[in-house]
Structure 1
């Protein structure tokens, strides 16, 4: 992930179409042989109104048969198992994605909260209005919601931008300050964290305010990345706007996701979209390393 830029002003969107290659390599090293390793991967980018996944490859070593299915939130899930004993497992996903400006056009000028009062909307998006495994609407989150939007909700999109700006300006991006299991209430106390933490905090605030909000996993292409800067997967949020649909905001960078973003999966929080998860048999403990590379391809890559 790129280091967030200073300043609380909303950064402009990129509209230039891009062709991006994403390589996401995960390696597991076991301290003793294991077997019956069953795994699920949510690593294939979506195709939607802002991007087209042209190619996707999943390389697994030791080799395994791979099948796929759509999960409850329509994410593409690849699953595989390695039954024979092994001491290492590597999973590399290679994606080629074309990104472009959202074909739906800009968000409507006005997005009154009354649009959410339709009973069918409240029922269809129930999951994104209430507690989830990593997002609990506790008193600390309620207080953060009041601080970020003291006047209450008047416009769904304008207020989403305000909440995102609040998270960006009052929390400090600090790698290693948290872990993958850190809860938003802890982040609120620490006032620091990484993209996953900021997405969870923003989700809690938005849901507390009655705005349907979901977690998004993906990648951010930084054309100004320094040679020694480590890349990683990224996370942001999307809110539901009646009559328009889901629209994203990245509280880590204080911007609306644009053509530099590649979207992987959506869910209630990180628990729903773990890039790789699974189980195995054996007594060996394991160590995991992850490498991510995002690069721009020539525009004529498909000709």
Structure 2
């Protein structure tokens, strides 16, 4: 089934007095693919700005925004209409040689996956490796996909979710020690744990559709949906399994695909995929704060 969504993402930076702005790197545009198609886009910036579109090394679409005037507020609004086809990673067959863990990537795949296979965070006492290895069965063969499904589910059930406005991501060891974190913390934990087991993973940033946040949705009348992380930018991961390719795992909600995860960018590490990164010039105490408003709605009758 294919559904059509309208997305409006507005970020506003407020200052005590007019300041001068440097370039801002904006990563809002959904990432096209066989399952996701962008039908319309619009980008509005206040104050007036020059905009150029580029692709980064991961082929993500990036808007380079240079405001042309000083102002006490910088507002960036991106609007999109997309079509998203339902996918579920359990429906995709794996290469027979990769069905059981451990498995080996081909030489060609290893060349391309090198940066997604190498752990990026230290594990001096082996705590993260030990946590990852608990999902390897001791009573018989371990299915590769089943290992990742169990890890995905464990994070959803055993860790406490807490939204966090400030930039940055906890290290995997911090998330283990605290027993909780944000969606990007959970994504990084599972990424690094899987890499310790020799499975290639990458970070995904994007949006999450939740019918309960849609005022026009019939589901909204039914109360809470149990979806965590909707209404703001969301993060999950993809694991590369031969035969099926890059498969989505959302440990925050224990999702394995579907058409509610709307990807924007992929990267080998969360710090490479911030929604906005930029600079401003003015008094140190001029910055007052940031407001983010995200609206993802399903079009009526879209299927």
TM over 0.5: yes
- Counterpart for residue 48 of structure 1: 33
Indicate which of 128, 136, 155 corresponds to 2:116: 128
Greater fraction of residues in strand: 2
Q: What are the residue-to-residue correspondences of 1:151-300 with 2, within 5 Å?
A: 151=138, 154-176=142-164, 180-225=168-213, 231-283=231-283, 284-299=286-301
Q: Give the drift of 1:178.
A: 8.4
Which secondary structure state, in structure 2, belongs to the residue aligned with residue 117 of structure 1?
A: coil
Contact 2:238–2:246 under 8 Å retained in 1 = yes
Contact 2:236–2:250 under 8 Å retained in 1 = yes
- Counterpart for residue 52 of structure 2: 67
Q: Give the drift of 1:299.
A: 4.0
Q: Give the drift of 1:250.
A: 0.8
Q: 1:300 to 1:222 in 2, by over 3 A?
A: closer
- Counterpart for residue 131 of structure 2: 144
Q: 1:25 to 1:288 in 2, by over 3 A?
A: same
| Structure 1: distance between partners of 2:201 and 2:235 | 13
Q: Give the drift of 1:156.
A: 2.9
Q: Give the drift of 1:146.
A: 2.1
- Counterpart for residue 12 of structure 1: none
Q: 1:203 to 1:268 in 2, by over 3 A?
A: same
Q: 1:116 to 1:56 in 2, by over 3 A?
A: farther
Q: Give the drift of 1:137.
A: 4.5
Q: 1:247 to 1:153 in 2, by over 3 A?
A: farther
Bigger mean CA offset, 140-149 vs 199-208: 140-149
| Structure 2: distance between partners of 1:45 and 1:213 | 20
Unaligned runs of 5+ residues in structure 2 are: 214-219, 225-229
| Structure 2: distance between partners of 1:288 and 1:150 | 46
- The normalised TM-score by structure 2 is 0.84
- Counterpart for residue 5 of structure 2: 20
Aligned length: 284
- Counterpart for residue 63 of structure 2: 78
Q: 1:282 to 1:179 in 2, by over 3 A?
A: closer
| Structure 2: distance between partners of 1:244 and 1:269 | 22
Contact 2:136–2:142 under 8 Å retained in 1 = no
Q: Give the drift of 1:176.
A: 4.6
Q: Give the drift of 1:85.
A: 1.7
| Structure 1: distance between partners of 2:62 and 2:167 | 24
- Counterpart for residue 3 of structure 1: none
| Structure 2: distance between partners of 1:296 and 1:100 | 13
| Structure 2: distance between partners of 1:298 and 1:136 | 48
Indicate which of 33, 57, 77 corresponds to 1:92: 77
